[in-house]
Structures are given as C-alpha cells and as structure tokens.
Structure 1
Amino acid sequence: MVQDSFVSRLKKVYSIYTGGLILLLILLGIGEKLFGLSPTFIGYVFLFGTIAVYAAIGILSRTGKVAEYYVAGRRVPAVFNGMATAADWMSAASFIGMAGALALQGYNGLAFIMGWTGGYVLLGVLIAPYLRKFGAYTIPDFLDARYGGKIPRLVGIIATLITSFTYLVAQITGVGIIASRLLGLPFEVGVFLGLVGILVCSFLGGMKAVTWTQVAQYIVLIIAYLIPVTVLSFKYTGNPISQISYGFALQGIEQKFAQLKDDPKEQEVREIHKKRAEELKAKIAALPQSWEEGRKQLQEKLASLPPDDPKRAELEKQLKDYPKSPEEAKEKWTQAMKEAEAASKPPKSYVAPPSDVKGMANFLALTLMLMLGTAGLPHVIMRFYTTPTVREARTSAAWALFFILLLYLTAPAYAAFGRYEMLNLVGKAFSEMPSWVEKWAKVGLITIKDLNGDGIIQFAEIKIHPDMVVLATPEIAGLPYVIAGFVAAGGLAAALSTADGLLITISNAISHDLYYKIINPNLSPSTRVKIGKALLLVVALLGAYVASFRLAIIVELVAWAFSLAASSLFPALVLGIWDKRTNKYGAVAGMLVGLSVTLAYLIASRFYGFELFGIKTIAAGIFGMPLNFIVTFVVSRLTPPPPKEIQEFVEHIRYPKGAVKAGAEE
C-alpha cells in the first residue's frame, strides 16, 4: 500500500515536470519567432535550466544513509527504474555518437545498434535477476561472496575501475562538446563547466539522487531525440513516423553516391588525397629525420617573417600543433595517412554490408563485444540492486528495454535524414556556405577545404566528425534554433545521466569495495559515505583532465569500455551464476588474462597501428574474452572445486524468488 502511494506520487511529479518541459519549449519557440531571442540566450536557458533542475533533485535527495547512497534504499519501482536504467545506459554514445556512426559508416554502424540492444537482452536474461537476489551493493561484492577471498574482489575492483573510467571519459567528452557549442566556449573549458552539472547530481545523494535525476534526464533526452527526426520525416515524406519513412533518405543517399563516383571534380580531389597519403607514408618511413626537418622548416619560415606579417599567426599555430616527438609524429601522421587513404576512394554504398572478409570479421567482432560488454557493465548492473524485489528487477529490465528501443529504433532514421541533409552541401559554392558550417568548425567537428581550388564544395573536401551529426542536424535542416538547443540539452542529459552512474560506480569501488571491505572493515556508515563523496570529486576532476585531450570520438571511447567489460567481468559473472565448478583460481586467472590481453591489443592497435585479422581497436575484447572463458574453465578444472556451501549458494541464486542479503545494510 505504501509502495502504491509512492508510485502515484512519482507519476504525478514527473507528469508535471514533463508538462513544464514542453511548455518551456513552446514559450522559447514563440520567443525566438516573435521576439528574436538569440541562440546564445536559448543555449543558456537550456544548459543552466536543465542543470538547475537536476541540481534541485540532487539537493532534495541528499542522504547520509549507506543503503540510500549505494542502492537508493532498494525502493525504486520497476517503471521508474527502467527509465533510470535506460538513461544510465543510453550515454552520449547512444544519443550523440551512434546516429553519427551510422550516418558516416552506413551498414557498418548497425553493429552498435545490434550489439547494444542484444546485450541488454543478455543482461536481463543471464545476469540481472540473479545478482539482485544476491542483494549486495556492487559487482566486487558478488565476486567476493561467490568465489571467496579478497583476491577475486580486488581483481573485480581493478576491472571495474578501468572499464568505468574509460566510459566516464567518453561522457565528459560529450559534455564538453555540448557546452562548448551552446556557449561558444573552448572545448577544454566546456569540459570542466559540464563537470559541475555532473557533480551536483551525484555528490549529495549518491544512487538515490542519481536515480531520480536519471528519470528526469530520460524524459528530456527522448523528447529531444524524437522531435527533429519527426519534423524532418514529415518535411520530406508527409509521414511523421520516421522509423518507417526513412527509406526516402536512403534512396537519396544512394543516388547521390552513384553520381559522385564518376564525377571528374570528385576524382580530382580524391587524387589530391591519394598524393597526400603517399607523402605522409614517405614521412613516416623517414622518421625521425623527417620530423626534425619539418620542425626546422616551420621555425625558419616563422623567423623569416616580419613581426606584423598576418601569416605569422597561422605559422605559430602550425608550430604549436606540430608533434612534440618522433613517436607522436608517427601516431599523428599514421592517423592522417589512413584518413587521406579513405578519402581517396569513391564513397561506398550506404546500405551495403562489408564486402571483404576482414571488414565482416570486424563487424561481427564489434557486435559481439558490444553485446557481452553490455551484460558486464558495472554501472548498469548496479541499477538492478535498487529495486525492492527480484520480480521488480525482472520487470524493470523489460521496461528499460522498451525505453531504450524508443531511441534505438529511431537512430537509423536520424542518421539517414542527417546524412541526406549534409549531402546537400555538395555542389554549392564556397561563397554560399551556410552559417552552421562555420559555427561547428569552431568546435573542430567539421572541416571543408577547397583542395582543387574550383570554388565548389566536393564531397571529398568535407570532413565531418561523427559527434556533430545529431547535434547539428536541426540547424542543417533549417529548424528553429530552439529545437537545436533542446537537442543539445538532450545530449547533455544523456551524458550527465551516464556520467553520474559511472562516478557512483567508481567511488563505490574504491570506498566500499576496496577501503571498507579490504583495508578498514571497522569504518562507520557515515564515514563510508563521506569518503565516497570525496572520491567523486577526485575521480570527476581526473576524468575531465583526461577528456580534455580528446583521445578519440565518443563512440570509440565507449566501445573500448565495452570490450574491457566483455573480456574481464562478463565471463566471471556468467560462470559464477551458471557453472558451480568455477572456482576463485579460475575466475581470477581468467579475469587477469582477459583484461591484460585486451588492454595490450587496444594500446598496440590505437597507438602503434598493430592489427590482427582486420580487428580494429574498438573490438579489442574479441581476443581477451574467449581467453578469459578458456583459462577460467581449464584452471577451475585443474584446481580443487569450490566449497559445498558456495555450490549451494550458486544453486540458490539461480531460482530468483525472494532475496538474499549479503550482509547487514545500515
């Protein structure tokens, strides 16, 4: 009865919130149309208005109780936990990066949709209900209880920290892009400004505050995602249901690509890219001498110019951006060479699957890693610890999948209409370039250079960053800026919601799993919460610092995290539930091998160009994951079986009725 009243109250509160959000959108639209509200003003309203709401929820949800701070008091109803889980999981990669990857990669980008949605089904079927029955706070708690001893917990902590921190950097990168675009700030400043928004949601109330904030953030992000693509669909087809009408855009893209293949001007530009790739290849082969000569030439050119020469600024910038060492030069020039080689080839069919064996192998490997990684992500699994019962955990998994599908079924349509709109640039004169190009060029997400000097924009002269597709599509389509601002607010909500969950996961791993469970078990409940809050600040600042270097595009950073989770935690969780014979020796050995191999391949592939069987960096876990399973299985069979009570414990959690307490909850 109390729970029913609580649910009714929640429904009323969030209904009022949704109505107020729509009213704000309408009022700003009227203000832009009739009173000429500036884009800057609208950007400030959306950025600080939404953050203020999230901060208010965080303040109202502040707590010092351990159970509320770590698992929201285990009283989150299934529907709302489903929304919070969807927001927690649908990060900046889903909102910003996924449609961008689809728009630029076509068929290959489907790996993200199939992998992430399929993985969520795996999580709901194989893992989530059983861990909820276990009833602890974190994944390392489960590893400790299931395998016995502190070593499995410690290895689980290491895997959790590496995976979650990689994911966190991706979210902070997304926050930086949005804040810098909305407010016209440098990316590095936007990163630290957005950090404030992340901290106000999670610092005071932990998982309790994060949960209710994520529900609010899901409402923002799903409305923001659906509006532009619905308008575009109606604009071009007369049908507002974009999920079934985007075939129009696909046909347009294919027709345009067919024309571009044999266009003489396009061939001319592609030849320029080919020569550029050959020059870079020669420079890489001549390292370190080529690096030294290049730097010397820039310094001599700069020294020869008078102080008032306007060319000095450009040369100074080139010298500042020049690689600081031969090693850095090799990395940058190799990346530039690959981009030039790709640009020298005719555009591929948008809807055709990979034509070569290596391409298909990478596609399938990435899909598998995203699936298994989803089922092993610590911050998503933690959400199922917050429901009142095991049954609610199952129901919330179903609701979460529904809320996720609303966005994921729309992403291909968003990508197609966005790509179709951007292709309208091709053939325009540089003098007619729309204003949105300059705005997004300032953020560093689009580059258009007249390489053949004909004054006309060719497709091969356009370089688009995937992270701008979703955010820029409303402006490209000529929609009112209020829609573009609202989409940015949606992207911000997606990034903040996941970042909040990740911060809680990381701070819990250190304060609860490491410090309390291993170093100082006599720690008082209030001190545990205080340490967790202090760690939030430290981890958030460190994440912002790393994000400021922009190591990769958002969707790539997130894929790294999924590969790491798939190769380290997923096998230990699945075998821990479904194989009674798996013991701590096997689990520890498997996690260490899987994580080490994946990290080694990821670093070698990303920074040194190493590659096996065509597998790219983002699917690095395909090597570590099977090794983890094999090592775990073999070592477990070669060493003594787990104690009888552990095997009975495994048998017990397989039948998810009721709940088991792993320890007293303060």
Structure 2
Amino acid sequence: MNDIQLWTTIFVVGTFAVYIYVAYVSRVSDTAGFYVAGGGIPAPANGAAIAADWMSAASFISMAGIIALAGNGYGGTAYLMGWTGGYVLLAMLLAPYLRKFGKYTVPDFVGDRYNETARMVAVVCAIVVSLTYVTGQMAGVGVVFSRFLEVDTRIGVLIGMAIVFFYAVLGGMKGITWTQVCQYSVLIVAYLIPAFAVSQKLTGIPVPQIGFGQILGELEALQAELGFSSYLDALVGSSQMNLFLLTATLMFGTAGLPHVIVRFYTAKSVRAARVSALWALFFIALLYTTAPTVAAFAKFNILGSSQAGTLADQNWFEKWASVGLITGADGGAITDVNGNGAIDFMGSAANEVLINNDILVLASPEIGGLPAPIVGLVAAGGLAAALSTASGLLLVISSSVANDVYAKRIRPQATEKQQLQVARIAMGVAVLFAGYLGINPPGFAAQVVALAFGFGAATFFPILVLGIFWKKCTAAGAASGMLVGLIVTAAYFIWTLPAESAWFFLGKDPILDIAPVGFGFVGMMLNFIVTIAVSQFTKKPSAIMQELVEEIRYPGRTDLVAKHAEE
C-alpha cells in the first residue's frame, strides 16, 4: 500500500466510523423524527446540513473541472451563477412560506394545497428528480474509490451504498442531519486546505481568492502559447442562448429541489428557517468562492507541465490514466493541433489528451505537488459531498412513498411503526436502484446532476411559486403543468443525449440548438403556461384554502395557519 492509499484509507475509514456513530446516537422511532428530525435542529447546524445536502459531488468534484476544462473559465461560471443564485431564490422566495405551511415533504405541500391527484403527480416527479440526482452522487463515489483505494468502481459504489443505507435507514432525517453536519465539516476542510496550500506555493499568498488574481495573466499567456482560446473571454464554445438557458435552469432547478426544500422543515420555526438559510449561504460561499481558484491553479499547473515536457512524465497523470479517466494517444503535450482554438478537453478529437472533468479537484493536490495526507483528505471530502447529498435524496424517495403514497392513499390508518417500516423498505429499494445507476451513469457527475436540476425546474418550481403567490391556482392546473414539464423535458433528454450514454437515448440533433442541460428552463415555462391556462377553466380552491394561501405570506402565526399545521 502506497502513502496515498494509506492516508486515504485512514481518512475514509475514520470519517465513515464517525458518520455511523452519529447515526446510531441519533436513531429515531417516530415519523416526525424520521421525516423532519422533529423540527428541532438549531439554525447553525441546520445551515451546515443544508449546505452539505445542497453541495453534492457535482459541486465538490466536478464544478472546478467544468470551469477549467469545459471550454473556458467564463463558460463554466454558469454553474456558479445558477447554483448560488438558485439557493438565494429558494431561501428568500419559497422556504419560509413552505415552512410556515407546516408539512413534511414537497408532495405533502402539493397534496394539501391542491388535491390528491396533484400529490401523486408530485410523488412521481420527486422520485424522478431524486433518482436522476443520486446517480451523479454514486458515480462520484465510484471515481474516488477506483482512483485512491484502487478498488473497482462497482465495489466502491457498493461500499457507498452500504454506508448510506445504514445511517439513513437507522436515523432518518435526524440521523442524516447530524451526519451531514459532520460531512460538511469534512468536505469544506478538504476543499480549503489544498486551495490554501497551492495558492501559497504558486503565488506566495495563502488566501486563494486573492492569489487567484496573481496567475490569471500567466494562465492567459500559457493558453495562447499552446494554441488555446482565451480563458477569460465570454462565450467561447457556447452560445449566449445556451449559457442563459443553463444558468436559468440551474437557478430555478435549485429552487425546486425537494431534498433541499425539506431541509427547512427541520428548523424550529419560520424565523429559524430564515436564519438557517443565512448560515447555509455562508457555508456554501466558502466553497463556491474557492472553486474558480482551484480550477485556475490546476489548469495552470497542467499547462505548465505540458509546456515543460509531457504530461506522461507526471506521476498523477499515469495513475488517473490507469483508471480510464484520462485518455489520449500517448500522454504527450497538450496542443491545439487544429489551430482553431476550439478545444474541449472532454470530447474533441483534436486533443491528444482528454481529461475527465470529475478528476480535477481530486487530482489537484497531486498536480500541485502536495503531500499524501492532503490527497487522502480530499478523497474523504469527495465522499462526504457525495454521500451527504445521496442520503438526503434517498430520504425524499422514502418519505414520498411512505407518507404520501402509503399513509395518505393506501392505508390512512397505518401506525407510525408501519409507516417507518415502509419508509425503510422504500429507502432500501432506492439505494439498490441508485447503486445500479451509479455503476452505469449516463454521463459525468455534473452533467447528470444538471439534468436533475432540469427536472426540478420543469416540475416543481412553477407549482410551488403559484401555490404560494396565486391563491386561485387550481389542482387541475398544477397537475397538468407538472406532467407537461416532466414529459416534455424527459422527451428532450431522450431525444438529444448521446446514444452511447444509455440504451434509451437517441442522440438526435438538438431542436433550435438548445443544449439538453439547459432545456429545463423551457420545460418550466411550458409548466407555467399550462398551469395558468388550465387554472382559468377549472374549479377554484376552497375559500378556506384561498384564505390560508393569503395568510402564509404574512408575518406571525395566525389561527388558521396554526390549525392547518397541526392537522
């Protein structure tokens, strides 16, 4: 066992032991604890759990890789703007009102606000969004295990499945929440320490957000010398329309993600939900302001190594190539052999070397020449990011099946013990399905996650906004809008995604050149149009529901809201 394997094993085993212990101590025996942690999580802890739940493997593992390698730095910032802007939108526009409404899940809100038909449609949408999203997390787990512990990807995914299943099934939302507090601590330390160290090494400034500016000029010069397009120019390799659509899809998709929304139900009160949102924004900003610096430092080191000799001379290159995440003819220097400046590390035949987006953050300590303990710490951080989000997504599936289908539709007289049994069985099935998708993912982690955000934007965002701010939005309108958004968006993904990604994708040309990762915005607008149009001609909500919708938007806990929350 080499030093990197040893340190990775120490950090991974140590952190997994902590997660399991916390889940055991936090185990629950009632549905309130399983679904929303009893609504008693302090705001700072809830903020850390929200941040860990929200910052998935895509944020930790893939985002810096996209910024550095997918076209240029400017184009990759769509992920930064979309994901952070969407969180602010969720925290300010939706979360406090949903918390005041007082239900367990997004389908629960839909069922109470509209009707049982809309609830069932929302359950289907929640499961589709969550399964799509969790695929990217399990794929990220496989990447970490295959490279750092030299374990087969399938075995790595199975290990991740087992850990998530144990602490999610045992502790429910309460166990997941406190485990995610630990996971956030691990992932942020693992992300910041290498960034500080590489910044100090390259620029003499230990704060990466400041040191970042010192190398941009040199990075631009390297790009030009090797024939690449500018790292800082706008819209290189991407149309203005697709950049807008991707940013908007990620933003509105974030505000429609059921596993993030349910986090605000774990707060003690509406005020605590708002404070939790502020804490979460601070915790998220620590990583998101650092990601562009990690991207720039890593690309600077990669291009510098290529300029000095060949990448094949680098120890990190050989190890990542051995697991199939770097491909190329001979591992030679990176050059623009076509001379057209249009380089795409992920797929252009013009490149001698193709570097997978998912490896950049995980490889950055090795690329920067940092010692083995930091490499092992980053591996543990990547696993923490993937597992924290995976557990939240699996709980959404579990609670949707147990609370919204079993308890509300199939067996309303079910006891809490019976509901918990169904919830745990549903979670077990979801873990197995997520593991299969993680072993056979239809793309790299951030790409798969972007599709999940597309589904979130096209299904949930419109009916949540209209459900809160338009008291005459009807059940028929909401159900129709969700179905149209889901079906049209799914059909476009199937039509356009590459056929080699999965057997059911067709790989056809995009309509009007709209990239599939940005199509969720189109699905969302269709959802809005259909929901509003159908609501004009269908039965309006009851007078009591319209009054309740009015009241949840105002401060204070009125008698009507209090009575509804207790039902």
Written as runs of structure 1 = structure 2, the 5 A alignment for 1:198-237 is 198-237=164-203
Partner of 2:233: 352
Partner of 1:543: 434
Q: Deviations over 1:206-236 (max 9, x none)?
A: 0000000000111111111011111111112
> Which of 22, 39, 45 is residue 4 of structure 2 equivalent to?
39
> Which of 192, 196, 204 is residue 238 of structure 1 equivalent to?
204
- Whether contact under 8 Å (2:467, 2:549) holds in the other structure is yes
Residue 252 in structure 1 maps to residue 218 in structure 2: yes
Counterpart CA distance in 1 for 2:565 and 2:261 is 19
Partner of 2:529: 630
Counterpart CA distance in 2 for 1:657 and 1:44 is 51
The aligned amino acid for 1:364 is: F
Residue 127 in structure 1 maps to residue 94 in structure 2: yes
TM-fit CA distance, 1:180:
1.7
From the superposition, tell whether residues 175 and 660 of structure 1 become closer, same or farther in structure 2 (CA, over 3 Å).
farther
From the superposition, tell whether residues 527 and 228 of structure 1 become closer, same or farther in structure 2 (CA, over 3 Å).
same
Gap regions ≥5 residues in structure 1: 1-35, 262-346
Counterpart CA distance in 2 for 1:125 and 1:431 is 47
Partner of 1:500: 391
> Which of 401, 406, 416 is residue 525 of structure 1 equivalent to?
416
Counterpart CA distance in 1 for 2:373 and 2:508 is 43
Written as runs of structure 1 = structure 2, the 5 A alignment for 1:372-451 is 372-427=252-307, 429=309, 433-450=313-330
Q: Deviations over 1:570-591 (max 9, x none)?
A: 0000000001111111111111
Residue 186 in structure 1 maps to residue 152 in structure 2: yes
TM-fit CA distance, 1:448:
3.3
Q: Secondary structure at the match of 2:239?
A: helix
- Whether contact under 8 Å (2:398, 2:424) holds in the other structure is yes
> Which of 545, 562, 566 is residue 457 of structure 2 equivalent to?
566
Q: Secondary structure at the match of 1:368?
A: helix
TM-fit CA distance, 1:457:
5.8
TM-fit CA distance, 1:622:
2.2
TM-fit CA distance, 1:187:
1.1
TM-fit CA distance, 1:379:
0.2
The aligned amino acid for 1:138 is: T
Counterpart CA distance in 1 for 2:268 and 2:309 is 61
Partner of 2:543: 644
Partner of 1:310: none
> Which of 154, 168, 173 is residue 120 of structure 2 equivalent to?
154
Counterpart CA distance in 2 for 1:200 and 1:206 is 10
The aligned amino acid for 2:64 is: A
TM-fit CA distance, 1:644:
0.8
Q: Secondary structure at the match of 1:246?
A: helix
Gap regions ≥5 residues in structure 2: 337-350, 498-504
> Which of 506, 520, 526 is residue 621 of structure 1 equivalent to?
520
TM-fit CA distance, 1:87:
0.4
Counterpart CA distance in 1 for 2:99 and 2:140 is 31
> Which of 56, 60, 65 is residue 30 of structure 2 equivalent to?
65
Counterpart CA distance in 1 for 2:446 and 2:137 is 10
Q: Secondary structure at the match of 1:470?
A: helix
Counterpart CA distance in 1 for 2:267 and 2:236 is 46
Counterpart CA distance in 2 for 1:352 and 1:122 is 28
> Which of 71, 75, 78 is residue 111 of structure 1 equivalent to?
78
TM-score in terms of structure 2 length: 0.92
Written as runs of structure 1 = structure 2, the 5 A alignment for 1:593-612 is 593-606=484-497, 607=505, 608-612=507-511
Q: Secondary structure at the match of 2:327?
A: strand
From the superposition, tell whether residues 142 and 456 of structure 1 become closer, same or farther in structure 2 (CA, over 3 Å).
closer
Written as runs of structure 1 = structure 2, the 5 A alignment for 1:259-270 is 259-261=225-227
Residue 82 in structure 1 maps to residue 47 in structure 2: yes
- Whether contact under 8 Å (1:250, 1:416) holds in the other structure is yes
Counterpart CA distance in 2 for 1:598 and 1:349 is 33
Q: Secondary structure at the match of 1:425?
A: helix
From the superposition, tell whether residues 512 and 431 of structure 1 become closer, same or farther in structure 2 (CA, over 3 Å).
closer
TM-fit CA distance, 1:252:
2.1
From the superposition, tell whether residues 618 and 432 of structure 1 become closer, same or farther in structure 2 (CA, over 3 Å).
closer
* Identity among equivalent pairs (%): 48
- Whether contact under 8 Å (1:414, 1:470) holds in the other structure is yes
Counterpart CA distance in 1 for 2:224 and 2:483 is 49
TM-fit CA distance, 1:661:
5.8
Counterpart CA distance in 2 for 1:663 and 1:653 is 11
- Whether contact under 8 Å (2:312, 2:318) holds in the other structure is no
Q: Deviations over 1:118-157 (max 9, x none)?
A: 111110111100010111100111111111x210100100
Q: Secondary structure at the match of 1:447?
A: strand
Counterpart CA distance in 2 for 1:348 and 1:604 is 31
The aligned amino acid for 1:631 is: V
- Whether contact under 8 Å (1:96, 1:470) holds in the other structure is yes
Report the count of equivalent residues.
540
Partner of 1:660: 562
Q: Secondary structure at the match of 1:463?
A: strand
TM-score in terms of structure 1 length: 0.79
The aligned amino acid for 1:594 is: G
Counterpart CA distance in 1 for 2:264 and 2:555 is 13
Counterpart CA distance in 2 for 1:575 and 1:618 is 24
Partner of 2:339: none
The aligned amino acid for 1:541 is: L
TM-fit CA distance, 1:535:
1.5
